[in-house]
A and B are shown apart, each in its own frame.
Chain A
């Protein structure tokens, strides 16, 4: 009996060892031999540039069915192509398919010479020019601002100092507004523990790796361990591997955070929560969220740990929009805009809401 068990064990051991070597071989090929996955493939044209920022116009695939163009405003960190990740997994592609005219403000990669750029520059110099260019190009009188993550905060800041902005609707996706409810970041970035002035003075721009490390540290086991064990487990599932590769490329393809903008971001938002308190000034102008009166759709991820839902929900209490809708999607921060929940809930909701408004 014992002998039989021993033989079974050895047979099993041999099989498993072989399988694991095959896995290792495939993993090594995935990392070293396969070309980088292609992202942001929807055809587009650059219609305006300023410094590193580019205003992209996605080539319509259908006759324009809706007269109000959409301008997507992205965050100052990571790459904007998360909204146009891969064919079949792209919010941009979906909206084009629904007959919308889609534009995107991509901030590009800040260089060391941009370390003095602060949020005032981006909100007061870049966003208004981009809006003007979209309106000129599309010959429309108003547009829809759709913004993801920190892009939503930038859009809110712009509206907060421009009560007469030509904005018909606003769509917020996982956008932080109330920084008192910022989860672990509230603790990590408080004045007592985090010397923001020294960090910016010494480093200039904050390296992408530092931002990425902070975000990954919010869920250490998931980001540093489970992400790789799940790839190991499902390495023969081609669809899973393809999705994993594009997402992994995006996660590790960060951009540096312009130094002065980061100082402001941490000091005035995370440490002093000036936006919701109504104390924030941009070049001496008060940012008043009550200036937002247009219809607003606010989408949040139920399990978002980077921008916890409470941080975004606060928007509803700060604005004066008569039409305000909050939708809580059963997703995380990234899966709010890509993947199955995005395809099922987020994208159709944005499209139907925009048509209705």
Chain B
């Protein structure tokens, strides 16, 4: 009887409703977004938006060209050229790295060669001296 007369707490009531409804909303929405109709509608909306942006961009470009002021594309082209220049430097750096590596290999080989040559010379001299000594 007491419960019957109790006035419900609106915050708690809203929270309970919201929690209970959340899963159901999720299920319904997930079902909706998985349909072919949704994908088709989204595609059409995107197409409409792109048409609008396209017209806006073309008009802005024409406006700037008429003034005459550099357009967005001009600035992008300039930035693109700077990036391309950086790329060339990067390739050069890469080439220098490769050359340095090859040079290091050659230097290591030469130093090994000279060491072995020196060793051979020493052995040769030692043999000569031994030969003289035995004579």
Contact A50 B90 (CB under 8 A): yes
- Give the number of residues in B that approach A within 8 Å (Cβ atoms): 38
Is A355 positioned at the interface, with any CB of B under 8 Å from its CB?
Answer: no
Is B54 positioned at the interface, with any CB of A under 8 Å from its CB?
Answer: yes
Number of A-B contacts (CB under 8 A): 94
Contact A16 B11 (CB under 8 A): yes
Q: Mark A179-221, 1 if CB is under 8 A from B, else 0.
A: 0000010011010111100110011100000000000011111
Q: Does more than half of chain A's interface fall in helix, strand or loop, or is it mixed?
A: helix
Contact B9 A129 (CB under 8 A): no
Contact B36 A6 (CB under 8 A): no
Which chain A residues border B42 with CB–CB below 8 Å?
A: 188, 193
B73: nearest residue on chain A (CB-CB)?
A112
Contact B83 A1 (CB under 8 A): no
> A8–B25 Cα gap in the complex (Å)?
33
Is A28 positioned at the interface, with any CB of B under 8 Å from its CB?
Answer: no
Q: Which 6 residue pairs are nearest across A and B when measured between Cβ atoms?
A: A193-B43, A113-B79, A221-B26, A113-B80, A9-B7, A16-B11
Is A252 positioned at the interface, with any CB of B under 8 Å from its CB?
Answer: no
Q: Mark B44-64, 1 if CB is under 8 A from A, else 0.
A: 001100100110010000000
> A132–B96 Cα gap in the complex (Å)?
13
Which chain A residues border B57 with CB–CB below 8 Å?
A: 202
**B residues apposed to A, CB below 8 Å:** 2, 5-7, 9-11, 18, 22, 25-26, 29-30, 33-34, 36, 39-40, 42-43, 46-47, 50, 53-54, 57, 72, 76-77, 79-80, 82-83, 86-87, 90, 94, 97
Give residues of chain A (212-246) contacting chain B, Cβ–Cβ below 8 Å: 217-222, 225-226, 229
